[in-house]
Structure 1
Amino acid sequence: MVEILASERGTLRRWAYPPKLTVIHTGDPHRDQISRMVDMVHAQVPDFPGIGAVEFFDLTQFNRRLAGNTQFRMPIVDFDGIEGSIVRALFAGEEEEQDLSVTGSIFIFLTGLEDGITFGALTQSTKRLSRQFAEGGDMRCYFNVMSKNDELRAGFIFINMDDALTPVSECLYEEFMQTLGLLNDSQDSSLFTFDNTGITREDRDPDFQLLRALYSQDVTPGDKAQTAADIFMNMQTNMLVGVVAQP
């Protein structure tokens, strides 16, 4: 499980303030599922700072092409007294009064492939996964996060809505959880959803237990990933002891 938690430096990264969730969509915004995901995280991970707000932005109201007319800026601002980040997206209209803008900390892009590729470039999410996403095939969704001093400052989720085979529900759940700090897949894991197999697990309790460990009060951003892994294992041990102790 350490590989799920570890950044490229082997450290833990998590949100220190309530991120705002913004959904940019060209069709079904999947409001109900997104609302359920947010509610589930709030209920199951009490030490998570919470989702600050949820906003939906219908991209079809912008009738110009994205390339050349869209900007994403990520300044550091004061968010409820805590230094955090708000991503500002500007969609430039033909006239200034036609400009559209939206802000967020975690963006979910429910768009066609070409728009998703453009948003990937605009948000500096152009890494190995974005190339595979652009090539099509089995890579139908991916995520990227940005951090400062191991505190998460921005997250981006890309889902190819053009492909009828895209498992939208599974992509939304897995990529959202990963933007909260469960940073990597664990190849062929027998326990966690983040197993890179595409199989839907009915039992997602271990995912939330791992997220609870990450947001434990005993964890500080920048700690080694093993710290949260040890907390998770202690949770598992305590659960087993509780089951055995029942009459």
Structure 2
Amino acid sequence: MMTLTAPQQLTLGVLGAALLACSINNPAQAAVLFNNGAPNFQLAIESDFALPVEAGDDFTLTSSNDVTKITWSGLYAAGQAVSVTPTIDQFSVRIFEFLNDRPAVSPIIAFNDISVARASNPQSVFFYNYSFAPSQPFTLQAGSYLLSIVNNTEADASLNWFWAASNENGNDLGRFQPGDQWFVDVNTAELSFAIEGNSKSVPTPALLPGLIGLGMGIWRKRQLAAKDRSGK
């Protein structure tokens, strides 16, 4: 067994607190906060201001988080035929709070007419994967929300955008115009999306003085015990 001298014991106690401080100050690693599933390639729900119709689906967070990225899947179609992709997308990504078990009419977070990263889905030539990372993360507290993702293909009248479903049995919502009340979609699907970010549920620096004091207290107790054994 290694025996520490009194100065070493003191250093160890304070070092433990200092290491904790470093872990608190370092940013958390991004993780998937909510995943509503990958596309099932069987169903897609129209969500396009050119129609007009807007789709959304609910999600819940159990703690406060900084959102850094949102990903989803979808396809383009003209009538009942799958169509070519537009030159550019004009997506709006918005988040609504639930008030009395119903999503609010106005969003608390809104990114309108944005360009997003688009890539072909390797499992289907008709579907695409999309991702959007805001320039600054935004914070969502624990609670229930509605995510709305809607494209605007008015510049190309030959096609519309459809949000891929992850499950054909769900509770997606819809409305026709911004400002309308949300209604339960007759398609009753779950929409494909995931939300990434950093959890903010970490120890706070306010704990540090107590931890440092704990290290000092341990050192004093060991110093007194050593004096008792030596009789000095």
TM-score by length of 1: 0.21
**Structure with greater proportional helix content:** 1
TM-score by length of 2: 0.22
Give the number of the structure with larger relative contact order, counting CA–CA contacts within 8 Å between residues 6 or more apart: 2
**Structure with greater proportional strand content:** 2
